[in-house]
Amino acid sequence: MRKIYIFDTTLRDGEQSPGVNLNTPEKVEIAHQLERLGVDRIEAGFPAASPGDLAAVHAVAKAVKNASVIGLSRSREQDIDAVREALKGAQDPCLHLFLATSPIHRQYKLRMDKDQVRDTARSAIRYARKYFDKVEFSLEDAGRTELDFIAEMTKMAIEEGAYVVNLPDTVGYLTPYEYGNIFKYVKDNVPGVEKVQLSAHCHDDLGMATANALAAILNGADQVEGTINGIGERAGNTALEEVAMALETRQDFYGAKTSFTLSEIARTSRLVSKLTGMVVPGNKAIVGANAFAHESGIHQDGMLKEKSTYEIMTPETIGLKESKLVMGKHSGRHAFREHLIELGFELDEEAVNRAFTKFKVLADKKKEVTDDDLFALLEERLADTPEFFQLDSLFVSFDSESEPTARVRLSTIDGSVREEQSSGNGAVDSIYNAIDKASQEEVTLSDYSIKAVTQGKDALGEVHVALTQEGITAQGRGVSTDILEASARAYVDSLNRLVEKRKTGRRDNIPMI
Ligand code: KIV
Ligand code: ZN
């Protein structure tokens, strides 16, 4: 069976999704989960973008032991040096260099002719190879590049010692037939092509990212790049869970497999969704809430008689289990700790104690605490951001006849306490106006969403909020049995992330030239 290498770029291309910002502990948390999932390669970020990005890539490089860690770089020496710095101490470091090759990018973005593009890339790979055994070279916008120029650039990359050549459909323009044909052309026309791995990297602008990656595999691609839940620039990237499950379910057709531990898919999807704030649509293939739900009577009847009538994969394969009833308020710390380990959380003693306190508070409010509740609680502040502001108390008054008002008390990192009151055109609005006054930060609310974690009147509510300030966007989340409290917590969390981002100089718009 052919092995297809999986290059996960959730932490780089995925983080380029508008509004997504992962801080360093969150990146490390996701990277650990990607290791559990069994990805071969993890692209951790773009170190030259800012000192904050470099530090985040460095933290991932030090933490990951069972996958290669990759840093992205434009074809410039300063970028390559930033990746060298970031990947110091990595078990299996790799540099990912790119340069655009299509006529449109050559003319308008780079203002270079073909010779200049080839020579710039050649010098960059040559420089990079002095420091890295493993260099991947990407022909950005290969999808709209002349086939003979793709072949010429691939040949050059092989001569300079690249170990992977990536042929991205950067703008998600191609059909599976056309994308597959690029791989076939390169395989048939580039001397020495057997010395490199060919890689597919697709975007989903026309909804064909997974189909295109699979077409590349059929035509000789050795590696697929993508993200968990398909998040990424614009319409996103190839969803890796879809590729892994397509290869698994249709082994008869593809004759290829990945090294995924398939039962980790659901957990990985949930973690990425929570930490990025990008909600997975209910009808999303493999990991959507409805992916294994059967609604119509005819389908339900068929399922009861024989599951294979309407189910081509089982939910258990991707690790979906019934949300178990965990414990109640009388459960002890030891049993709680054992249960967290069973769920896959690796927490130190202090974190277990904090989680246990939260669990006890929840168990007092809620009759039944399930695994889903625990996931929501633990992932809320799994990756701690410095608490520049802390919500000490919240009071809201609401009646249908008059304007709601809210009073909040915030304490700041330097020990001051600020209490403010405000009204608004709804309860949540009044809370947010009061927090704005108390924090003395001028921000714009750019996104707000709320969902129930479990069913029932006492379900936990989970709120995601995005705030923007002078071009910086930060997302936060809050969980509580009370949706107003969850809304306030999410807002304060988002403020803390925004301040952290401002202080560390992390940027949303990385110039890709
Ligand atoms: O889509 C793309 O072309 C990229 C490159 C940087 C590989 O993300
Ligand atoms: Zn991309």
What are 163-197's pLDDT values in tens digits?
999 999 999 999 999 999 999 999 999 999 999 99
Position 288 in a domain:
no
pLDDT of residue 57: 98
**Using CA atoms, how far apart are residues 126 and 124, in angstroms rounded to an integer?**
5
Final residue of a structural domain among 356, 379, 402: 379
Closest CA to 410 of 377, 375, 440, 452: 440
Distance from the CA of 137 to the center of ligand 2, in angstroms? 13
Q: Which of 13, 167, 223 to mutate to test the pocket of ligand 1 (most atoms within 8 A of CB)?
A: 13
pLDDT at 506: 65
**Total number of domains in the chain:** 3
pLDDT below 50 — which residues of the chain? none
HEC string for 103-127: HHHHHHHHCCCHHHHHHHHHHHHHH
- Co-location of 314 and 234 in the same domain: no
The residue ranges of DSSP E strands in 227-352, in sequence order, are 256-257, 325-327
- CATH code, domain with 7: 3.20.20.70
Tokens of 211: 């189909």
Query: Phi, psi (5° rounding) for residue 289?
Result: -60, -25
Domain check: are 339 and 259 in the same one?
Answer: no
Domain termination residue (choose one: 245, 276, 307): 276
The two three-digit tokens of residue 286, written as one number: 């493999």
- 76 shares its domain with 160: yes
| 510, part of any domain | no
Residues 150 and 191 in one domain: yes
In a domain, 373, yes or no: yes
Do 49 and 101 have their domain in common?
A: yes
Domain boundary, last residue among 379, 411, 439: 379
363, 461: one domain: no
Q: Which domain holds residue 237?
A: 2-276
Predicted local distance difference test score (pLDDT) of residue 137? 98
CATH number assigned to the domain comprising residue 395: 3.30.160.270
Give the per-residue pLDDT at 241: 98
212 is in an annotated binding site: no
Specify if 512 maps to a domain.
no
- Tell me: is residue 384 an annotated ligand-binding position: no
pTM: 0.86
Q: Closest Cα to residue 438, out of 467, 409, 481, 400?
A: 409
Do residues 373 and 393 share a domain?
A: no
Q: 285 lies in a domain?
A: no
Q: Relative to the CA of 13, which ligand 1 atom is closest? A: 8
pLDDT of residue 304: 81
Check pocket membership of 170 for ligand 1, CB cut-off 6 A.
Answer: yes
Per the domain annotation, does 128 fall within a domain? Answer: yes
Q: Which atom of ligand 1 is nearest to the CA of 225?
A: 7
Judge if 10 and 159 occupy the same domain. yes
Would you say residue 451 lies in a domain?
A: yes
124 shares its domain with 243: yes
Determine, yes or no, domain membership for 282. Answer: no
Residues 321 and 185 in one domain: no
- Together in a domain, 205 and 133: yes
The answer to whether 24 and 48 have CB atoms below 8 angstroms apart is: no
Q: Are residues 251 and 118 in the same domain?
A: yes
Please calculate the CA angle 385-390-396 and round it to the nearest 5 degrees.
Answer: 130
400-452 pLDDT tens trace: 888 999 999 999 999 999 999 999 999 999 999 999 999 999 999 998 989 88
